[in-house]
Amino acid sequence: MNRIGLVAVDGKFPNIAIMKIAKYHRQLGDEVEWWEGEIYNSSYDKIYVSKIFDFSEIPSGVPIGNPNVLVGGTGIDWKNRLPDKIDKCDIGTSWDLYPDYHNHIGFSSKGCRFNCGFCCVPQKDGRPKEHSTINELLTNPRGGDRLVLLDDDFLAPKLWKPTLEEIVDKDLQVCFSQGLNIRTMTKDIARMLVKTKYRSNSFKSQLLTFAWDNYEDGDLVKRGLDLCIDEGMKPDTMQFYILVGYNSTKKQDMERVMHLHDRGCKPYVMLYDRSNKERKEFQSWVNTRQLFNTYEYE
């Protein structure tokens, strides 16, 4: 029996890759646990490190360079993948790693139709394709009726409708954590979304997240917003991720934020360049609701 250490460097959700690794090694009879720190390094036969974001720092005590330390994830190289024998494992028996997480989670689809310069998903996962049924994602014994979807292009043609129908039929609360593409909104999609119990990440409020990443997409975004409202969606339940510092000016960032605010929606700024102090201040102002709703930016 080997002793396996796990390190999830970043991410606000349970790390699915880490959970699959745990399942695989437990099937081999190995002892699996979270890495406990540098003092225990010599007691591990293998350490797995998963890093999602390139700006995140691996804990200093992890012996990087040791052949028994395997480092992977999009934050290292978006081309790397789990070996098939591990990737095929389910996560159902690994929920003890996250005893305080009370939602189901996973991908109903993977891939994306679009080729945005700031995103690696199309290169990593290709075109949208079915990954799991909703029933297959309901694995957390503490998950109840709460489901977090990680799909990057949930509204892809031929995929969204059967998945949404399954969500509605099962009367699930659902969080579309990566946001939906409002540029491709139709009446049929909007009508179905209104029937859905969409929720925020915390499941404490009714919130559906979209994205307005490129300023030039304004007409498509406004058209999609109108379609949703026409079908009965309340503006104050609509949140928009707004990418700033990529290919937009400060004036264009403010214009997007204020247009959504004036329509009654909730703008949420996402930074492309995290080192830009002025943009970080702008992000703090917008994303701190009390500040945003009380004071002008100046």
- Identify the pLDDT of residue 122: 57
| pLDDT 10s digits, 118-176 | 776 657 777 879 999 999 999 999 999 999 999 999 999 999 999 999 999 999 999 99
**In angstroms, rounded to a whole number, what is the distance separating the alpha carbons of residues 85 and 88?**
6
Q: Is the pLDDT of residue 270 over 60?
A: yes
**130: three-class secondary structure by DSSP:** strand
Q: Which residue type occupies 178? A: Q
Q: Is the pLDDT of residue 273 over 70?
A: yes
- Identify the pLDDT of residue 124: 77
Q: Where are the domains of the chain?
A: 3-87, 102-294
Share of the chain above pLDDT 90, in %: 87
Per-residue DSSP letters for 238-259? EEEEEEESSS--HHHHHHHHHH
- Identify the pLDDT of residue 79: 78
**In angstroms, rounded to a whole number, what is the distance separating the alpha carbons of residues 80 and 192?**
36
**Weakest mean pLDDT among 194-198, 216-220, 271-275, 280-284:** 271-275
| Mean of the per-residue pLDDT values of the chain | 94
- Identify the pLDDT of residue 128: 77
Give buried/exposed letters for 99-113 (b at 16+ CB in 10 A, else e). eeeebbbbbbbbbbe
As a whole number, mean pLDDT of residues 228-240 equals 98
Q: Is the pLDDT of residue 10 over 60?
A: yes
| pLDDT 10s digits, 101-132 | 999 999 999 987 877 767 766 577 778 799 99
Residues ≥6 apart with Cβ < 8 Å to 74: 51, 52, 53, 120, 124
